[in-house]
Amino acid sequence: MKAFDYIRATSVAEAVAAAARPGAAYFAAGTNLVDLMKGGISRPDSLVDITRLPGLDRIERGADGSTRIGALVRNAALAHDASIARRYPALAEALLSGASGQLRNAATTAGNVLQRTRCQYFYDTASACNKRDPGAGCAAGGGVTRSHAVLGWSEHCIATHPSDFCVPLAALDASVEIEGPGGARSVPLEAFHRLPGDHPERETVLEPGDLVVAVTLPPEAEHFAGHSRYLKVRERTSYAFAVVSAAVGLRMDGDRIGEARIALGSVALKPWRAREAERLLAGAVPAPEIFARAAEAALADARPSGDNAYKIELARRIVVRALTLATAGTPDRVPALPASPFAASPIAPLTPPAGAPAHA
């Protein structure tokens, strides 16, 4: 591992100033960054430790009904927060399906949003990768692409974004709060991650020194609590990144769908919002036929990148399955295998762990 300077910031302003210097990177739990540093993929000159910044480990309820989740809230604490599970059940289900219990105890909200692709060519420094070395080429093109993107990819990069957490966030119109050298701003999560285009090395809208301080869910996100699911297909149910995932929220108006929200995961370099599918479902009576049409619309622009054409059909089926389960209603208890389409029996929700974040 390359030697680096260590800076422990005591305020957001101090952190931003330190991280704006060339070669600096923020450090919190390090569950992704440390692996990248050990492998020589990330080689920062300095690490700015933000773990002791005050106020970033809180879940706050706004007067307008919004929910603000601080950047340092741990994934486990958020998933087991009773209020979060009640208002945004797909969010809790997605968090509980991600990583292992040990990692969820360490990983943070901002770190999850900012985690980098798990493309094997990105992690292999002997392989060409435009994300690591712009202009070097993409070894994944023509390589083993079974897990790679089917939406929004370019000849320069066919990687996917690995987050479970970000998929329901995208479906629920979450926004990302940022503090930077230019001041504070808020960016819709849907616009926060960039598609690869000609510059896959530019993964988000963040500029040097920008610090993610919170993720905010709007008041309207609660409207889908009664009919909300997150489903994930993975090669190993106990602990693995998604092959394909989907978050679905329905606001029912009697026996019809008043409004639908759909987002897909692990199909592109960002969570993929299926807006045309949502429009098709608005006002419709839930039925297999309309769900199949919505699934077709969600994947209408998909094209395989090598040998992963199966992901397109798999994604369609997961959309149909998620819509079917969401129509039936959000379960009162967390499924035995969180977010798995193979879950059959429920289990009682877990007791919130010690150290759960404070509410304001």
User: So what's the pLDDT on residue 109?
Assistant: 98
User: So what's the pLDDT on residue 333?
Assistant: 83
In this structure, what token pair is assigned to residue 55? Answer: 């106020």
User: So what's the pLDDT on residue 237?
Assistant: 80
Pick left, alpha or beta for residue 65 (phi over 0 → left; psi -120 to 50 → alpha; otherwise beta): left
User: So what's the pLDDT on residue 1?
Assistant: 80
Query: What integer is the mean pLDDT of 8-23?
Result: 97
User: So what's the pLDDT on residue 354?
Assistant: 41
In this structure, what token pair is assigned to residue 35? Answer: 């692996």
Paired sense of beta strands 5-8 and 46-49, if any: parallel
The neighbour count for residue 346, using CB atoms within 10 Å, is 12
2 burial via Cβ count (<10 Å: 0-12, 13-18, 19+): exposed
Pick left, alpha or beta for residue 214 (phi over 0 → left; psi -120 to 50 → alpha; otherwise beta): beta
Closest CA relative to residue 17, chosen from 209, 207, 182: 209
CA distances from 250 to 283, 298, 335 (A): 11, 16, 19
Q: What is the C-alpha separation between 122 and 116, in angstroms, rounded?
A: 9
**Sequence ranges of the chain with CATH classification 3.30.390.50:** 59-114+161-328
Closest CA relative to residue 228, chosen from 188, 287, 296, 169: 169
- The H or E element spanning position 49 is strand 46-49
How do residues 178-195 score in pLDDT, each as one tens digit?
A: 999 999 999 999 999 999
| pLDDT band per the 50, 70, 90 thresholds, residue 344 | low
**Sequence ranges of the chain with CATH classification 3.30.43.10:** 5-53
Q: What is the C-alpha separation between 29 and 49, in angstroms, rounded?
A: 9
User: So what's the pLDDT on residue 334?
Assistant: 78
* pLDDT > 70? residue 352: no
Write the CB contacts of 202 (distance below 8 Å, at least 6 apart in sequence): 194
User: So what's the pLDDT on residue 197?
Assistant: 97
* pLDDT > 50? residue 169: yes
| pLDDT band per the 50, 70, 90 thresholds, residue 353 | very low
Q: What CATH class has 5-53? A: alpha beta
Which of 80-84, 146-150, 332-336 is predicted least confidently? 332-336
Q: What is the C-alpha separation between 266 and 246, in angstroms, rounded?
A: 9
Which of 59-68, 132-141, 235-244 is predicted least confidently? 235-244
Instruction: Provide φ and ψ at 243, rounded to 5°.
Output: -80, -45
Pick left, alpha or beta for residue 242 (phi over 0 → left; psi -120 to 50 → alpha; otherwise beta): beta
Write the CB contacts of 355 (distance below 8 Å, at least 6 apart in sequence): 74, 77
SS3 of residue 178 by DSSP: strand
Task: Give pTM, 2 decimals.
Answer: 0.94
Q: Which CATH number fits domain 59-114+161-328: 3.40.50.1100, 3.90.1300.10, 3.40.980.10, 3.30.390.50?
A: 3.30.390.50
CB 338 within 8 A of CB 97: yes
